[in-house]
Structure 1
Amino acid sequence: MGPSRRAPEPTPQALEVFGARLPLAQDYAELLATTGIEHGLIGPRETERLWDRHLVNCAVPGDLLAPDSSVIDIGSGAGLPGIVLAIARPDLHVDLVEPLLRRTTWLERAVEDLGLGNVSVHRGRAEELAGSLIAPVVTARAVASLDKLVRWSFPLLPAGGRLLALKGEAAARELEEAGQVLRRHRVEDSRLHLLAEGTAAGPVRVVEVVRPSEPEGVQERPQGPRASRGSQGRTGRSRRRRR
């Protein structure tokens, strides 16, 4: 038997982000560091950077969500970012969507253990749940390329609903390369938000794509997606809310 694992102590930034909800975030970190690793949901090397790389990283995009929003987190895996958002923002209702049974089993147990009454777990693919789930925001982290995320998320969004995709260092390039796909879906509003810049957990890159009100079509428009600071456009920085 290998050495027992425990989550590291929370960082000062974690205290700032989670506020009074920090003990609950610590309980979730312990689940990730123990049964999360045992179930193959995160790698054992991720333990030491749980707070900066995963929990704080996933909580920061909550600044982009209106009060009392409903969120669908597709390809939720270990609950990143869905469970983290539900912990940091108890006003949210979060639906976790995950196709793999072993992951949904773990998610259901984690939600129960953490007492998260604002979270529901659904086993299935996003495209299979169109018509049964709808919310103004769909989130995804490390799930698929932007073109696939648009195709999967739009049936879950009303007109004006937003896809918020947490991306890595190539986020600006991926948004630019997705221009043709976005035009095909008649997207006129897309941008890159850079959050938590200058912190250990940042910058957190969030690509936002707004579902248009008109029906999807194949007509291409001359303009591409606009991006915020970090990809030569308007800034997407938001002020971090304190709790």
Structure 2
Amino acid sequence: MSTHTLPADVAASLEQGLAAMSLPADLAGPLLQYLALLDRWNKTYNLTAIRDPREMVTRHLLDSLAMAPFFSTGTLADLGTGPGLPGIPLAITHPGLQVTLVESNGKKCRFMREAVRKLGLSNARVAESRAEALDEPAAYDNLTARAMDTLAGIIAVGGHLLRPGGRLLAMKGVVPHEEIAALPAGWQVESITPLQVPGLVGERHLVVVGRG
């Protein structure tokens, strides 16, 4: 699907955001292709509550890409990914990162399979499953769950997927002191990094939790 179906100012907004985040300008093409597909499917299947593509640029694409500097290669399980956030933008950004998009909602999985196919993302695959039911123990270097539960809750449903020495990278608003205090034994915070997302109001932090 071509990007001309999006409002005219969407491409410029994305390009400005990529420049502000020091990300390559050539990411705009595939990201806009993904956004156009999401916008089209969303009108019928209600994949995300955000309806305006301009808002999707900030709250979906740029917010996901704020995590990009923390990855390079290896394997990532994106739990409860919905329509593929942040997993698909990260797979676009890092061709050497093998991304598994974990989602139990069938219509969202159908959308992601179409997006992966149309974008030619050979480094992304869809696992239609609840995180706790995914039978791939210790298969991943990294976990993320952008819109899912507390740190302890994420670990409870997806911790088995992470190899020893692996990392959970969790997007949060303010620093979640109570969640950190409630981490189960064997898990510890490695870093807390404030993130700057162009156009996004409010605090954003990436909390990295290690498995000993």
TM-score class normalised by the smaller sequence: 0.7 to 0.9
Contact 1:60–1:204 (Cα < 8 Å) also in 2 = no
1:69 and 2:74 matched: yes
- TM-score normalised to structure 2 length: 0.85
1:71 Cα deviation after fit: 0.7
5 Å-filtered alignment, 1:89-104, equals 89-104=94-109
Query: Residues 133 and 107 of structure 1: is their aligned pair in 2 closer, same or farther, counting only changes over 3 Å?
Result: farther
5 Å-filtered alignment, 1:1-243, equals 6=6, 8-11=10-13, 12-15=16-19, 16-65=22-71, 67-131=72-136, 134-168=139-173, 171-172=174-175, 174=176, 176-182=177-183, 184-196=184-196, 199-201=198-200, 204-212=204-212
Query: Residues 181 and 204 of structure 1: is their aligned pair in 2 closer, same or farther, counting only changes over 3 Å?
Result: closer
Contact 2:172–2:207 (Cα < 8 Å) also in 1 = yes
Contact 2:59–2:200 (Cα < 8 Å) also in 1 = yes
Report the Cα distance in structure 1 between the residues aligned to 2:180 and 2:31, rounded to whole angstroms: 37
1:86 Cα deviation after fit: 0.6
Report the Cα distance in structure 2 between the residues aligned to 1:165 and 1:116, rounded to whole angstroms: 23
Question: Greater share of strand residues, 1 or 2?
Answer: 2
Report the Cα distance in structure 2 between the residues aligned to 1:138 and 1:30, rounded to whole angstroms: 27
1:150 Cα deviation after fit: 1.7
Letter aligned with residue 113 of structure 1 = K
1:139 Cα deviation after fit: 1.0
The structure that has the greater radius of gyration is 1
Report the Cα distance in structure 2 between the residues aligned to 1:117 and 1:125, rounded to whole angstroms: 23
1:44 Cα deviation after fit: 4.8
Report the Cα distance in structure 1 between the residues aligned to 2:211 and 2:148, rounded to whole angstroms: 19
- Cα distance per residue 1:188-230 (max 9 Å; x no partner): 3343211226x42475421211111xxxxxxxxxxxxxxxxxx
Where 1:28 maps in the other structure, the secondary structure is helix
Residue-pair matches, total: 202
Where 1:95 maps in the other structure, the secondary structure is strand
Unaligned ranges ≥5, structure 2: none
Give the CA RMSD over aligned residues.
2.2
Report the Cα distance in structure 2 between the residues aligned to 1:92 and 1:157, rounded to whole angstroms: 15
Where 1:33 maps in the other structure, the secondary structure is helix
- TM-score normalised to structure 1 length: 0.75
Taking only the aligned residue pairs, the percentage that are identical comes to 28
Report the Cα distance in structure 1 between the residues aligned to 2:205 and 2:180, rounded to whole angstroms: 18
Report the Cα distance in structure 2 between the residues aligned to 1:205 and 1:55, rounded to whole angstroms: 16
Query: Residues 95 and 147 of structure 1: is their aligned pair in 2 closer, same or farther, counting only changes over 3 Å?
Result: same
